[in-house]
Amino acid sequence: MLVTGERSGSRLGYTREVRSLSVLILLSACAQSGTVPMGDRRDSGPADFGPIGEPDLGPPDLGVMDEPDMPPGPCDEGTSRACMSSCGTTGSSTCTDGTFGSCAPPTESCDNGTDDDCDGNVDEGTDCSPGATEPCNTTCGSAGTRTCGTECGWGSCAAPAETCNGSDDDCDGNVDETSACPAGTTRDCTTTCGSTGSQTCTASCGWPVCSPPPESCNGQDDDCDGSIDEGSRALPVTFTYSGDLAGAHPSCNGSTERIGTSCDAAFDRACAARACPNAGYGPIENSGDVGIGTCVVGIRHTVSWAALSASHPACINAGSYPPDCNAAIHRWCRDQGEVTGFGPTEVGAGDAQVVCTPWAEVVMTTYSTLSTHHFPCDGVGERHGPNCNAAIHRFCRDARGAVSGYGPIENSGDSAWVACIGN
């Protein structure tokens, strides 16, 4: 039976089939009784309805019925539904006058790196896209990196790992702490020859070989070149008899003595007072109140007169004649492996102080040659003394390229051996 108010097409089809089935049942009943409705009778003979099968009194076979094609109904004013925007995002459509309008894209959001509002831009209106990175300056001035957070805001600048560059990269207050040394820093070190050198950390943050210092006047090999005090081994210095030399030894005042044992001590003491060089001899030139001496770097020794006389028998005490003690001191220093020497610079009852000069050059020359540098030193008029001091100094300087010289340390006939000292 059709339910009043039911609009379903399925219900209408069902009602029609029930009605058709009822008509067939009625006609079949009439045929079996031999009667027909009065209004339809044409003759008195029985109606010929042809063969009538047994009616199917079972439940109707309704089969599968399609819903009828019906136009969409109107929507409720102001309601919204989800839809796909033109750029593929999930937007919304709003009901106006019973019909849903076009799909409106959503507002831009900061969480997906997508163009939500279909304007061709991604995450506009925010500082950055989540996960994006960019360079930045750290609090210690190094080049760091910052990362965009989930709320589309930049995080703090992250410092890089420490590298070897002479700077604090990781902002921990330390420079190149992961390396052997901070680039460009220096430190003291011990050289291969035992002097105090320096090292400067390389650009690759490693310590190089210890660099020796420049040579200084201290009786040692500072620059590790195998030589001692080169560059300051000999220096001619001008003194005054009345001031410098008399102050060092009262008797060497230019009048009481100009050359001799007192002045040997005075020149040596005046040079030693300069600290470097540490010893000296003279005069190599003298005139009036001026006495020029040569200050040298030497090795001092206190030697007994017995040891000196063993080197040359005639050098037995302070009163010994200079050429004899010149030879004795030369031979004693030579035998110590220190080439030659001069003195005595100081004398005592049982010993004398001498100065050996290992870097001097012993040169054999002649008085004939020395006389060409200062004539009175010709081996006849003078073999040792102030004129020969000047001749030997000039010979070493002009003929040998040295700074100065002393001697004779040995002499025989026209031959003279002298010691030339250079830097």
Cis peptide preceding 386, ω within 30 of 0: no
Enter the pTM of the model: 0.57
How do residues 45-57 score in pLDDT, each as one tens digit?
Answer: 444 544 544 555 5
- pLDDT at 61 (0 to 100): 52
Q: Which residues of the chain register pLDDT less than 50?
A: 1-47, 49-50, 52-53, 64
The residue ranges of every structural domain in the chain are: 191-227, 234-296, 299-356, 361-421
For residue 20, which phi and psi values (nearest 5 degrees)?
-60, -40
Q: What pLDDT does 9 receive? A: 39
Which pLDDT score is estimated for 56?
Answer: 52
- Residue pLDDT, tens place only, 246-277: 999 999 999 999 999 999 999 999 999 987 78
